Structure 1
Amino acid sequence: MRGEKTVLYKNDQSPPARSVKMLMSLLGLNFIEQRDINPLFREQDTPEMRKKNPMRTIPFIDDGDFSLGDSHAICLYLLEKYGKPEHEYLYPKDIKKRATVNQRLFFDCGVVFQRLRAVMAPTYMGQMTEMPKEVIGGIRNAYGTLEAYLSESVYLADDVMTIADICTISTVSSLDGLHPVDGKRYPKLRQWLTNMYAKDFVKEENQQGCEDHVTYLFAAMELNKQQKSKL
């Protein structure tokens, strides 16, 4: 089944990379080699990396003669390739349940992560010194939708955890560090975070990278502020 060496290219501060690492931990895929890439040094832009991953995103996986970018696609690939019958709850075969999981995955990718990207991109580019009201408003809007989803089930797509929760917790944990989820305004989302934060694979594969990510963003904002004050 394993064939040639499989390599995950990642950075622990990257929320998408953390989601893949969490799934790997849950599936027991400790035979997959992990190699760090520093996006600030544009290490994903080398000709070799561009050929393997034209998106130039982190993470991506190199599985012998097959390469794949996008954390959601990677998680589904690994789950379908290495998942055992006892892992079926993560991506149920029932067509309606699976459709709901897919929708939540698309929401994480298309909406929730974009709210985080609205902080990350201008901060890395030296432009953002603090989060403006419109950015905070976008984050709260995403929180509100997640709260609505959680009014229907204990987890985002079902009453049991699915792959949608694993992918989304990596994004929301960074947002929670930047703009904490208000338990009074979003009680179900706060409870979901508490449930997810308590899981061993989240503690081991997400917590430190998330804390480092948030710390770096705030430090970068402060540095941007100092540099702009000198102009």
Structure 2
Amino acid sequence: MAATSGEIENSSNSKEKKLKLYSYWKSSCSHRVRIALNLKELDYEYIPVNLLKGEHLSPEFKKLNPIGYVPVLVDGDFAISDSSAICMYIEEKYPQNPLLPEDLQRKAINYQAANIVSSSIQSLQNLAVLNYIAEKAGPDETLPWAQFHIRKGFTALEEFLKDYAGKYATGDQVTLADVFLAPQIYSAIKRFNLDMSQFPLLSRLNEAYCEIPAFRDAMPENQLDTPSAATS
């Protein structure tokens, strides 16, 4: 779980360096990593990066990630960016509470579901893309654009997961697919006002995620850098 400032100070004498997560409260990519860290029960220091102020474009941040995106995870002297790469890294280094099933086919299903979210949905409606759409086509075009791509991806996921889902996306255990699905569903509802009535499976999964503390603690409204207006 993310450490408070007091906990961070108290841990300064620890022999093992605390993980550091450079995150933005509203970023769904950061949201994924927060869930994964929580599920692994890994203690980490939360370092806010304000995208609206351009802090991700600063020379200091670009030393951690040259492309200037959050999240970035720092583990000792090692820094890694990209939420998929971070999740794979912590899955291998910290094997407790595994995010991937042992069964090869189920593992592949998790990779596929995660990639649908990261490659076919989120990457087409992230802040950089929406800003570009607003600049080139006008601000009124950003919401329809985002909803179109989310709806397309959710339609595929609804069909794809129907033969694998149990209590969660690919069975009765929380796995990598859930780590990627939860922030995307959250964003679709809270940020892009998507009507979820046509996606009963994803809606049911979303209800299940809201019951899990590791997921709730990772939600945007529960972060250190969440604006007060977003929690009221």
**TM-score normalised over the length of structure 1:** 0.78
1:201 pairs, out of 214, 217, 226, with 214
For the pair 1:150 / 2:161, whether they are aligned, the reply is yes
CA displacement 1:60-106 (0-9 Å, x = unmatched): 0112221110112112211221232xx23x21232222111111111
Give the structure 2 partner of residue 7 of structure 1: 20
Give the structure 2 partner of residue 169 of structure 1: 182
Change over 3 Å in CA distance of 1:131–1:124 after alignment to 2: closer
Q: Which structure has the highest helix share of the two?
A: 1
For the pair 1:25 / 2:38, whether they are aligned, the reply is yes
Between 1:111-120 and 1:16-25, the stretch displaced more is 111-120
**Superposed displacement of residue 150, structure 1:** 2.9
- Residues 15 and 174, structure 1, Cα contact 8 Å, conserved in 2: yes
CA displacement 1:147-179 (0-9 Å, x = unmatched): 112311223333432112112211221112223
Instruction: Please give the alpha-carbon distance, in whole angstroms, between the structure 1 residues aligned to 2:147 and 2:57.
Output: 31
Give the structure 2 partner of residue 98 of structure 1: 107
Q: Specify the SS of the correspondent of 1:7.
A: strand
For the pair 1:67 / 2:76, whether they are aligned, the reply is no
For the pair 1:108 / 2:81, whether they are aligned, the reply is no
Q: Specify the SS of the correspondent of 1:198.
A: coil
Number of matched residues?
208
CA displacement 1:96-119 (0-9 Å, x = unmatched): 221111111111110121343279
Give the structure 1 partner of residue 7 of structure 2: none
2:150 pairs, out of 139, 144, 148, with 139
Give the structure 1 partner of residue 9 of structure 2: none
Instruction: Please give the alpha-carbon distance, in whole angstroms, between the structure 1 residues aligned to 2:64 and 2:149.
Output: 33
- Residues 25 and 201, structure 1, Cα contact 8 Å, conserved in 2: yes
- Residues 30 and 83, structure 2, Cα contact 8 Å, conserved in 1: yes
Amino acid at match of 1:51: K
Change over 3 Å in CA distance of 1:137–1:166 after alignment to 2: same
Q: Specify the SS of the correspondent of 2:70.
A: coil
Instruction: Please give the alpha-carbon distance, in whole angstroms, between the structure 2 residues aligned to 1:61 and 1:119.
Output: 21
Between 1:121-130 and 1:187-196, the stretch displaced more is 121-130
Between 1:93-102 and 1:156-165, the stretch displaced more is 156-165
Give the structure 2 partner of residue 221 of structure 1: none
Percent identity between the two aligned chains = 24
Superposition RMSD in Å: 2.8
Instruction: Please give the alpha-carbon distance, in whole angstroms, between the structure 1 residues aligned to 2:143 and 2:50.
Output: 27
Q: Specify the SS of the correspondent of 1:189.
A: helix
Change over 3 Å in CA distance of 1:51–1:207 after alignment to 2: closer
Change over 3 Å in CA distance of 1:34–1:136 after alignment to 2: closer
**TM-score normalised over the length of structure 2:** 0.77
- Residues 149 and 157, structure 1, Cα contact 8 Å, conserved in 2: no
Give the structure 2 partner of residue 128 of structure 1: 139
1:34 pairs, out of 46, 56, 60, with 46
Q: Specify the SS of the correspondent of 1:57.
A: coil
Unpaired segments ≥5 residues, structure 2? 1-14
